[in-house]
Amino acid sequence: MEEKIDVADRTVLVDIVKLVQKRRMQGALGDWKNFLMSHDKKFGSNLSDPAKRSRETLVAFLKTFSKEGDLKIFDTILRRYSNKDLFGLFKDKSCDIPEQRLVQNTLQHPSYPLDYAFEELDEDWVVINLRKKNMLLKSTKMVAIDCEMVLCEDGTEAVVSLCVVDRNLKVILKKLVRPNKAIADYRSGITGVCPQDLEGVTCSLANIQNSLRMMLLDGTILVGHSLHNDLRALKLDYVRVIDTSYIFQYSDGNILRRPSLNALCKAVLGYELRQTGAPHNCVDDAMAAMKLVLAKIERGVDNAIPLAQEPVQVPQSEMAKLLLHKISSGVTSEELYKIVPGDFILELRPPKGNKYSALAIFKNPQEAHEAFESLQGNQEKDSFGRPQKHVTFKLKAGVNASIFVRKMAPDGPNDSKRALEADETTVLKKAKMDPEIEGRVSKKTKMDPEIKGRVSKKAKMDPEIEVNATAISNKCDCDTHLNEIEALNQRLKENDLEIESLKQQLKQKDCEISILNKMVSSLNKKLRK
């Protein structure tokens, strides 16, 4: 390791020392500032910016580290910087091979530097350095990958299953993976994996990393959809990639709005990948990514495949949420509750690097809409046309911070009206199950012709509702019924909040049961021994 540090570029050394500062790592002479106090009697730690220090000082500091874990981190970073030369090689436009052209398109996409930065490299990461670099541009070998991830108790994601297929759509690797952390949520509705599926599974992330390393060492192109998510979960750094979310774009020319895998399958391949709400299948997803690349090559890399704008269809339950994103790790959930107005439940998402995101879940879409409108901040639109606000504030320590708060769907011409209509629709649906509610809702129709029209339309399909609505509306007393409707809406809001609370409790109970099952299994093994 000392030899590698001796010959490393000064820019690389500066970055390593900055990482050491960020992680508060200490060598034999302490941290960076302690080292400077003993190493430089003249300036000491007064000049602590690594970029302003000599190469010799940086090398001397890094050589004070001897712990295996620290040296492994240094080695990982040094190997990753060696891949930067390959990055420049792969961006070379002189190669006319279609596969390599798609690699270029991926590396030159505006989102690549952000998505594939992987700043959180640690000792568990694997950086793949390629062999036979002079032959890389001529290689057309490709494999496609897809992973499914579970949520761990520490808030991170871990790979639980993956599949790799070759150019001929043959499955060459398909594994269930046992995470090395406690699992908080199996996300079975998405991953299709439940606790019982992992019983007896011994395959680890390290096993998968080693298999992929041997598969890619010769420069094989790695294909995937939003591939950076898979690589981050796999803790794998690799340069020669094709991201299918980058190489297709919508007909409006918005390069930053990336199509979903399902949308690409419908538009390019002519079939629907999965039905709404169905679990993901990593075999199908990996094959779909490979088919998309092959279709792009067949139709010509430079020939655009027009994608029609997908209508944004967001369930009403999602419309009652606001996404809080690009939140610095220094911002606590308590501070988020103070920043966003209204009554809501906060659901944190796994961090990515030093940023994380969260969902603010309100009782109904109207309250989410009002909370967004009340926020003080610069309003803009994201790449999908969804409204969001950039909100700045001060932390307790007096440090400035900011977050982005985004709606779940673009605003229409009558967005707030649609939110109210959604609440009324919910009331009408519940009315059929509850005669008391049915009567109260039906009475309101005489006061409001627009609502009466909606009930009448439904009545044509259901004669029983027509009889009830007609009989009760004849007894209308406007002032009384307005109060009853208001009370009814309040009851429904309280019920919705109670249901959401019960869901959270069930999720927690599932987690506790999973942990208890593991403890019982462990005790049984000890008893058998």
Mean pLDDT for the stretch of residues 363-391: 87
399-450 pLDDT, tens digit per residue, is 888 999 999 877 765 444 444 444 444 444 444 444 443 444 444 444 444 4
CA–CA gap between residue 22 and residue 359 (Å, rounded): 28
Please, which contacts does 16-25 make with residues 24 or more away whose CB atoms are closer than 8 Å? 16/58, 16/62, 16/74, 16/77, 16/78, 17/50, 17/58, 17/61, 17/62, 18/50, 19/73, 19/77, 20/61, 20/62, 21/50, 25/65, 25/70
CA–CA gap between residue 484 and residue 296 (Å, rounded): 60
* φ, ψ at 404 (rounded to 5°): -110, 135
What pLDDT does 204 receive? Answer: 94
Q: Domains for the chain: give ranges and CATH numbers.
A: 2-66 (no CATH), 90-299 (3.30.420.10), 316-407 (3.30.70), 415-529 (no CATH)
User: What is the identity of the amino acid at 369?
Assistant: H
Structure tokens at 375: 């926020």
Mean pLDDT for the stretch of residues 51-69: 86
**Cα 306 to the center of its chain, rounded Å:** 26
Residue 282 and residue 331 in contact, taking contact as beta carbons nearer than 8 Å: no
CA–CA gap between residue 254 and residue 452 (Å, rounded): 43
* φ, ψ at 247 (rounded to 5°): -90, 0
Give the pLDDT band of residue 166 (cuts 50, 70, 90): very high
CA–CA gap between residue 185 and residue 173 (Å, rounded): 25
| Full-model pTM | 0.56
250-272 pLDDT, tens digit per residue, is 666 656 678 889 889 988 998 88
Better pLDDT: 79 or 196 = 196
212-234 pLDDT, tens digit per residue, is 999 998 889 999 999 999 999 99
Alpha helices (H) along 342-387:
365-374
Give the pLDDT band of residue 169 (cuts 50, 70, 90): very high
Treating both helix axes as pointing N-terminal to C-terminal, what angle do 415-431 and 435-444 enclose, rounded to 10 degrees? 140
Widest CA span in the chain: 95
What pLDDT does 196 receive? Answer: 92
142-164 pLDDT, tens digit per residue, is 999 999 999 888 878 899 999 99
321-368 pLDDT, tens digit per residue, is 999 998 988 888 888 998 999 999 998 887 776 788 899 999 888 999
pLDDT higher than 70, residue 72 = yes
483-528 pLDDT, tens digit per residue, is 666 667 666 766 666 676 676 667 666 666 766 666 666 667 666 6
What pLDDT does 316 receive? Answer: 72
Mean pLDDT of the chain, nearest integer: 77
Residue 327 and residue 336 in contact, taking contact as beta carbons nearer than 8 Å: yes
